[in-house]
């Protein structure tokens, strides 16, 4: 009986382990923003960098088409099969639900047969180009975490550009060009993401991989996020710590995966032959059955929760930060400049918590309300505290106390109690420069002490 119980527990563990296997373990460290820990000084909050879960972002977007009347069916229209110009028994009629193909069918639940899809009007005005912009807007910065996947119901377009905006659609930059012939369409040499490297990962390429027309079986176009992650995290994305380290120190890399809007610019439909068959223009159109966008709210590593309320995504900011992306310190918490939480030192992130403003420290009730555990520090009157006294208030990391008013820090450290790596301030820490950092349990406490002691007078640090 014991054996069978052991076996079933073992089986459960194996199941749990194998389920967890594909996910890099380091992700678990960012699931919470703070936790209570016990130190010599008592129970304190330990603050950690944190981020919301990655999820299907198509649930939260608004879609806009340009031109607005480009969807088929108004007036009703007959279109032909791509491969056979004489098979013209398909009809699009916006006023009949079974025959309508509105934009929302790009984002509904897929997996049924036949697929549901959006469809454009046909290219009846040839040679005037048939061009459509599909704009996806979140009204919030989001970070992409998986490939963007667009599934066409028609042939994949001969020419297409995927674009992104970081400023809610005011300005746009290309993300990737797609063409049957890159040189002809965009004067670019064709490339694949696999041709890139760590050093060229931000290069904007034109690919012919997804534009081979309707003669191939695949109808899918990718924008390869995971292949780009893999340059840093390895082919199975096992070494996410390495990717996170790069994201921490390279703003351009962070920004590359960040968007507020995406725009799919369909420039020329699949023709499948060298020439457009002018006698059968009802064969040419765009149709998309599904668009996948996976990502997470960008909360600058200061929130684990992002709420969708009133058609709007908002980070639930921790660490005394505020704003839609937790991009600034709350009022009365501006004791040092705001910075994003950092993934470094690896494997645990540094929260970069906003600390109370010096002017607000002289007001104990307000302070106590925001920091419920402050009583454990037993600081009765911070205004009279020494900076250091070699008994209770030690300078950290080899720093020495000078006349009770300042710590003289070794070259690599800074901060009121030498609690902070100098490279952290400059944002130039490498993966192993965190070795000499204070234990993480004491970091929040040190930050707090530093803030309190900041009230003691000008320190010239
Ligand atoms: Ca669909």
Contact (CB, 8 A) for 154 and 218: no
288 Cα–ligand 1 center, Å: 8
Q: What is the pLDDT of residue 46?
A: 84
Mind giving me the DSSP string for 392-432?
A: SSPPSTT-EEETTTEEE--TTEESTTS-EEHHHHHT---TT
CA–centroid distance, 48 to ligand 1, in Å, is: 40
Instruction: Tell me the CA–centroid distance for residue 102 and ligand 1, in Å.
Output: 10
- Ligand 1 center–CA 59 separation, angstroms: 13
pLDDT in tens, 360-415: 554 433 333 233 232 222 233 333 345 565 554 566 777 777 766 677 888 887 87
Arithmetic mean of pLDDT over the chain: 80
- How far, in Å, CA of 317 to CA of 307, rounded? 11
C-alpha of residue 155 to centroid of ligand 1, in Å: 16
Report helix, strand or coil for 202: coil
- What do you get for the CA distance between the two ends of the chain, in Å? 68
Q: Element (H or E) spanning 359, and its range?
A: helix 358-361
Distance 110 CA to ligand 1 centre (A): 5
Of 85, 132, 100, residue with least CA distance to 282: 85
- pLDDT the model gives residue 7: 37
Q: What is the mean pLDDT of residues 98-107?
A: 96
CA of 118 to the centre of ligand 1 (A): 8
Q: How far is the CA of 84 from the centre of ligand 1 (A)?
A: 24
Interval 248-298: pLDDT, tens = 889 999 999 999 999 999 999 998 777 898 998 999 999 999 999 999 999
Q: Report pTM.
A: 0.72
Output the CA 56–ligand 1 centroid distance in Å.
Answer: 15
């Amino acid at each position: 009986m014991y054996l069978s119980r052991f076996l079933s527990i073992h089986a459960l563990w194996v199941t749990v382990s194998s389920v967890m296997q594909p996910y890099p373990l380091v992700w678990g460290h960012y699931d919470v923003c703070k936790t209570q820990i016990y130190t010599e000084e008592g129970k304190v909050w330990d603050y950690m960098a944190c981020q919301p879960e990655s999820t299907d972002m198509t649930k939260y977007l608004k879609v806009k088409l340009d031109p607005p009347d480009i969807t088929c069916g108004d007036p009703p229209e007959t279109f032909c099969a791509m491969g056979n110009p004489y098979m013209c028994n398909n009809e699009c009629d916006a006023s009949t639900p079974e025959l309508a193909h509105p934009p929302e069918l790009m984002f509904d639940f897929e997996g049924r047969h036949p697929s549901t899809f959006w469809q454009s009007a046909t290219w009846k005005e040839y040679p005037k180009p048939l061009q459509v912009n599909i704009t996806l807007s979140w009204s919030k910065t989001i970070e992409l975490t998986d490939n963007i996947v667009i599934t066409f119901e028609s042939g994949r377009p001969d020419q297409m550009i995927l674009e992104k905006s970081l400023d809610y659609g005011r300005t746009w930059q290309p993300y990737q060009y797609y063409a049957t012939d890159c040189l002809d369409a965009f004067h670019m040499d064709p490339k694949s993401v696999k041709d890139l490297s760590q050093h060229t990962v931000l290069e904007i390429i034109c690919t012919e991989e997804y534009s081979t027309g309707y003669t191939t079986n695949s109808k899918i176009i990718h924008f390869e996020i995971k292949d780009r992650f893999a340059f840093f995290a390895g082919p199975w994305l096992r070494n996410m710590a390495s990717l996170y380290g790069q994201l921490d120190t390279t703003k351009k890399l962070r920004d590359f995966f960040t968007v507020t809007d995406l725009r799919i610019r369909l420039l020329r439909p699949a023709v499948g032959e060298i020439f457009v068959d002018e006698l059968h223009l009802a064969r040419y159109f765009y149709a998309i059955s599904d668009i996948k966008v996976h990502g997470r709210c960008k909360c600058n590593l200061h929130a684990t929760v992002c709420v969708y309320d009133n058609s709007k995504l908002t980070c639930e900011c921790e660490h005394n930060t505020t704003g839609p992306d937790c991009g600034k310190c709350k009022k009365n918490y501006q004791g040092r400049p705001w910075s994003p939480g950092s993934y470094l030192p690896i494997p645990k992130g540094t929260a970069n918590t906003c600390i109370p403003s010096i002017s607000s420290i002289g007001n104990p009730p307000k302070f106590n309300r925001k920091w419920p555990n402050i009583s454990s520090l037993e600081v009765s009157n911070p205004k009279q505290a020494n900076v250091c006294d070699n008994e209770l208030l030690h300078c950290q990391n080899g720093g020495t106390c000078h006349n009770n008013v300042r710590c003289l820090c070794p070259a690599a450290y800074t901060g009121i109690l030498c609690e902070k790596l100098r490279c952290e301030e400059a944002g130039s820490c490498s993966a192993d420069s965190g070795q000499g950092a204070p234990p993480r349990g004491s970091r929040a406490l040190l930050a707090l002490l530093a803030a309190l002691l900041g009230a003691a007078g000008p320190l010239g640090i």
